[in-house]
Amino acid sequence: MSLLIIFVKEVAVGSGRMPIGRRERAKKDKHERIMTAARELFVEQGVSGVTTQQIAGRADVAIGTLYRYASTKAELLIMVQNEKFAAAIDDGLAAADAAVGQGVLEESSLSSVP
């Protein structure tokens, strides 16, 4: 009798935890590769100097696969910028939490901010 051990990553879904399957991990990996490739190429060559074919090549995905994630280069740029905005918001929230924890800011003053 052989023993099959399956390793799964878990992600919080609502109040429970659900395992992420191989297909979902592959999709996430492709998405991350596409985003990394787009971000790097936009920095290296500028947005106008990059083609979606170059992004697909750097991400090691077919052009059709790239279009499943973003239908245009402009959409890729928006996705890259949204990641930056989300990271900045997370950093700001973490800094605010740290400031509240250190007594720098009063929690009551934060609740009055619109």
In order, the DSSP letters of 61-95 are --HHHHHHH-SSHHHHHHHHHHHHHHHHHHHHHHH
Is 88 within the bounds of a domain?
yes
Residue 102: what pLDDT? 74
Identify the CATH number of the domain in which residue 88 sits: 1.10.357.10
Domain containing 71: what range?
9-107
Is 33 within the bounds of a domain?
yes
Q: Are 56 and 65 a contacting pair, CB within 8 Å? A: yes
Q: Are 73 and 47 a contacting pair, CB within 8 Å? A: yes
Q: Tens of pLDDT along the chain (114 residues)?
A: 333 334 334 444 444 567 789 999 999 999 999 999 999 999 999 999 999 999 999 999 999 999 999 999 999 999 999 999 999 999 999 988 888 877 655 555 555 555
- Whole-prediction pTM: 0.67
* Structural domains counted in the chain: 1
42 C-beta neighbours (distance < 10 Å), count: 19
Residue 12: what pLDDT? 42
Is 2 within the bounds of a domain?
no
